[in-house]
Chain A
Amino acid sequence: MSKIRFTEPNREILARRDSIINDLTRLVDPAGLITSTDECRAYETDALTAYRKMPLAVVLPKTTEEVSAVLKYCHDTGVKVVPRGAGTSLAGGAIPSEDAVVLGLSKMNRVLAVNYDDRFIRVEAGVTNLSVTAVVAENGFFYAPDPSSQLACTIGGNIANNSGGAHCLKYGVTTNNLLGVRMVLIDGSIIDLGGDYLDSAGLDLLGLVVGSEGQLGIVTEATLRILKSAEGARPVLFGFPSCEGAGKAVADVIAAGIIPVAIEYMDKAAIEICEAFAKAGYPLDVEALLIVEVEGSDAEMDATLADITAIARANGATTVRESRSAIETAAIWKGRKSAFGATGRVADYLCMDGTVPTGKLSYVLAEISKIVQRHGLRVANVFHAGDGNMHPLILYNANDPSQQSKAEAAGDDILRLCVEVGGCLTGEHGVGIEKRDLMRYQFDDADLVQQIRVRAAFDPRWLLNTDKVFPLDFRCQG
């Protein structure tokens, strides 16, 4: 049986469905209103596909004003709203409820301004992450956060989950690369936070909104910092005969004062899965693989790689293979970024996202292995090692209900372990519904109550993305 609970839908709202839909037709372009069961089915889940709920209706506004009209209507009539970008949440952050309207941003996908002198791009929130870099790449610029789902995921979703990616070790996560947003509050008011300059005025509401998982308002436009690309970038594969050696090498590189652009870790299970899918030339005779990317001029990359290679060899690295061409580089990253998709071809999986202190990596890897074995399952580890953001993929068979509950129990144990060693439940995927009930493990009631009070300052009627992030027995408190 699935263990994540959903609240009972509000019968009064369900009974009003026809009149609500009728009212919505007056607020958005008819092409942006989806009400049939067949079409709504595309919105009943996200990337946490084990859970599904059919929404009351789906609206796909085209403008901030339409978003405002829908939110004001829902606020005034007490209808819940579930914001949605591309629906790639692994934590169930975009899963609807039967008494909620899904507000999707997929039709708000225009690029509004690009300014190379002031180094920013302004986009609508439904623009995909990868297309931002695609717009500015011809001028040698890029947008730093690069989650694995970047082909599909939207900037709005990135803001909601403070998304990172492989390259955030050097460049930071979404919150460090976001200059401003236009957002709509639940009462329909439209506000601008930040803009095309650094450090917004007043309280740092922009910082608060990032990572708030669609519970404070709906972001419709974003101003993002763009950066000039380095002259060159080169990933190197380091194969290790032991997981401990790879973990220690990561800690030693950071300790030596070297900050590569990315340090990605894969264990044997993940290497096999990704190599079969991407043919990236990953070594198959090792227990663990590190992909370390450095950038800069050729001379600089040579010097840094020499230092990193020495550290890797000292920790027992048996394979050292530098990318020799753009095609090889692309293949190396394709293998890593398609890890989740490739894993999905061989098994169902739950993807964890806990972050741990980098000094604890080896210990945590060994413990994860024991936990998963204890539950009678297998695990593939593929994650951002440089910042301690782990992604154990717990493999199971979704058609076997007992396996699903075992997988979920193993996941809970792993996240508890992450918190115990000084880390957190989620580094970049968000809490969603998945980790909602573990929040008490990381936070005391006083911490959660204060978060809920802040949430209530934005959404006092508790209508935005309800049933997410906070344990269900926590509700608005003034």
Chain B
Amino acid sequence: MTDCYKPRDECGLSSAIKDAATAKMPLVVRGAGSKSAMGRPLGGYAMSLTTERMRGVSLYEPTELVIGALPGTPVSEIDRMLAKHNQMLPFEPMDHRVLFGTSAEPTIGGIVAGNVSGPRRIAVGACRDSLIGVRLVTGRGDVVKSGGRVMKNVTGLDLVKLNCGAWGTLGVLSEVIFKVLPKPARSLSVGLGGMNDTTAIAALTAALGSSFAVSAAAHIPASIGSDSTTIVRLEGSDGSVAYGARELAKLWRSFGRAELIEGDESANLWLRVRDAHWLAQPMDRSIWRLSLAPSKAPHVLADIRQKLGVRYFFDWGGGLVWLAVVDADDAGASVVREAMANTGGHATLVRASSEMRHRIDVFEPLPPAVLKLTQEIKKCFDPDRVLNFGRMYAGI
């Protein structure tokens, strides 16, 4: 059992980190711990630090579409508050509890630390695109702010984005501020059945190249369920969604007969896409997340499938591939990374045993010049290497 700092406010957070830095004592930093099993394992550290007790919405101006919260605030609390004003976090953050079998509610700090987004990412951007301001405590214990509460801001370096997706290796967030969006008046899905991967991605590409308010696009191949499903979601005003659905059915005529999916059925389908529901069981399978240009995805998948038993599906119009490796002594790393090598994209090992995550690069290995910059940036935020040291890359 490790000891744990549980600061209640930014001041306490700063003094905890200063203590750790003085003692050169590395800390495992976390929110509620819903995705503690992601990243390189941080075994052997005696101390941890959680932001769980730093909770609450710090700023909400519905008429300005801005919300701010302390890092330990559960995402569900923010969702509920926004829903009262018919608003939402635009980027539809994934809930990792499904994949990791954890129970603690994901916190907003954890979402930002992992730059966690969902299917709507292709239409409105990632978590990092909605995040407009942060306060954080560096590994030196310094309180630093960047960005703010306004939508457009190029005042000074953008440390907001730098810390979004840094997995707590540079600083511990003490406040996060987002721009939000009104909930769409209507949301429905249009689906096609019976398509192979190549044709399905072509259909999604046609939809995304249209002007019909597509907010999500996924393909679930036949190997996942009984039949394949290729779906896009349309969101907007009543009229625009109805119009888009009609036009899309015409656009898709050469692919097959489009079917409308509405209400809970549509909503549940996208929750499953968001949380990679189909790959969660059995829990001992390693899971990868591949980001690449959509047109390259079918080929990469065909390549991987020749060498490896996998279950998989596509989100982001094919630009995001979720992959569960059935059986491989390296979690499929050599095959996956070789298939991705010439695509320019990158692969992340989202779920694997601690032993495997110790042995294999979890995040895409960086070219030497970028690695050197990353090391220098780590050093200038956290010279004593106290914050999640080694969670993303060895030595970072």
A positions within 8 Å CB-CB of B: 115-120, 140, 161-162, 164, 168-169, 172-173, 175-176, 185, 189-193, 195-205, 207-208, 210-212, 228-231, 251-252, 254-255, 257-259, 296-297, 299-300, 303-304, 355-359, 384, 387-389, 422-431, 435, 439, 442-444, 446-451, 453-458, 469, 478
Binds A, one of B22-30, B123-131, B192-200, B306-314: B123-131
Q: Given A207-B128, A431-B156 in contact, is the A118-B294 Cβ separation under 8 Å?
A: yes
Hey, which chain A residues are within 8 Å of B65, CB to CB?
Answer: 254
Could you tell me if A450 and B142 are in contact, using CB atoms closer than 8 angstroms? yes
Report B145 CB to chain A, min CB distance, Å: 6
Cross-chain pairs A/B with CB under 8 angstroms, 23 sampled: A117-B295, A168-B152, A172-B125, A193-B370, A196-B344, A199-B165, A201-B366, A203-B374, A204-B164, A207-B161, A254-B63, A255-B63, A300-B239, A356-B150, A387-B150, A388-B152, A389-B152, A424-B150, A426-B154, A435-B155, A447-B145, A454-B159, A454-B162
Query: Is B33 positioned at the interface, with any CB of A under 8 Å from its CB?
Result: no
| Complex A-B, nearest 7 residue pairs according to Cβ-Cβ distance, in ascending order | A207-B161, A257-B182, A427-B152, A457-B376, A255-B63, A453-B380, A201-B364
* CB contact list, B138-154 vs A, under 8 A: 138, 142-146, 148-154
B157 and A212 contacting across the interface, CB-CB below 8 Å? yes
Nearest Cβ distance between residue B345 and chain A, in whole angstroms? 4
Contact assessment for A422 and B148 in the assembled complex, using a CB-CB cutoff below 8 Å: yes
Q: Of B150, B158, B295, which one neighbours A175 at CB under 8 angstroms? A: B158
- The distance from the CB of A168 to the nearest CB of chain B, in whole angstroms, is 7
Nearest residue (CB) in B for A443 is B156
**B166 contacts chain A at the CB level, 8 A cutoff:** yes
* Number of B positions contacting A (CB below 8 A): 83
Do A355 and B150 touch across chains, with their CB atoms under 8 A apart? yes
Residues of B within 8 A of A (CB): 61-66, 86-87, 115, 117, 121-122, 125-126, 128-129, 138, 142-146, 148-162, 164-166, 170, 181-183, 205, 208-211, 213, 236-237, 239-240, 243, 291-295, 316, 319-320, 343-346, 348, 363-364, 366-367, 369-370, 373-374, 376-377, 379-381, 392-393
- A450–B381 touching, CB < 8 Å: yes
**Selected contact of B144 from candidates A207, A299, A446, CB within 8 Å:** A446
Contact B150 A427 (CB under 8 A): yes
Known: A190-B369, A208-B161, A303-B239. 19 other contacts (CB 8 A): A115-B293, A118-B205, A198-B291, A198-B320, A199-B291, A201-B364, A203-B166, A205-B370, A207-B161, A212-B158, A296-B213, A297-B240, A422-B149, A423-B150, A450-B144, A450-B159, A453-B381, A454-B157, A454-B380
What is the count of residue pairs linking A and B with beta-carbon distances less than 8 angstroms?
Answer: 252
**A189-B156 in contact given A197-B291, A203-B377, A231-B211 (Cβ < 8 Å):** no
Q: How far is the CA of A178 from the CA of B291 in the complex (A)?
A: 16
Hey, which chain B residues are within 8 Å of A435, CB to CB?
155
Q: How far apart are the CA atoms of A453 and B53 in the complex, in Å?
A: 30
Interface centre among A119, A176, A203, A456 (most CB of B within 10 A): A203
Decide: B159 and A451 in contact? CB cutoff 8 A: yes
Q: How far is the CB of A286 from chain B (nearest CB, A)?
A: 24
The residue on B at minimum CB distance from A168 is: B152
Q: How far is the CA of A207 from the CA of B182 in the complex (A)?
A: 25
User: For B373, what are the chain A residues with a Cβ–Cβ distance below 8 Å?
Assistant: 185, 191, 205, 457-458
Q: A447 is contacted by which of B156, B320, B345 (Cβ under 8 Å)? A: B156
In this complex, what residue of B is CB-closest to A209? B158
* A384/B152 in contact, CB under 8 A: yes
- In whole angstroms, what is the CA distance A116 to B210 when docked? 11
| Most interface-central of A200, A296, A389, A443 (chain B CB within 10 A) | A296
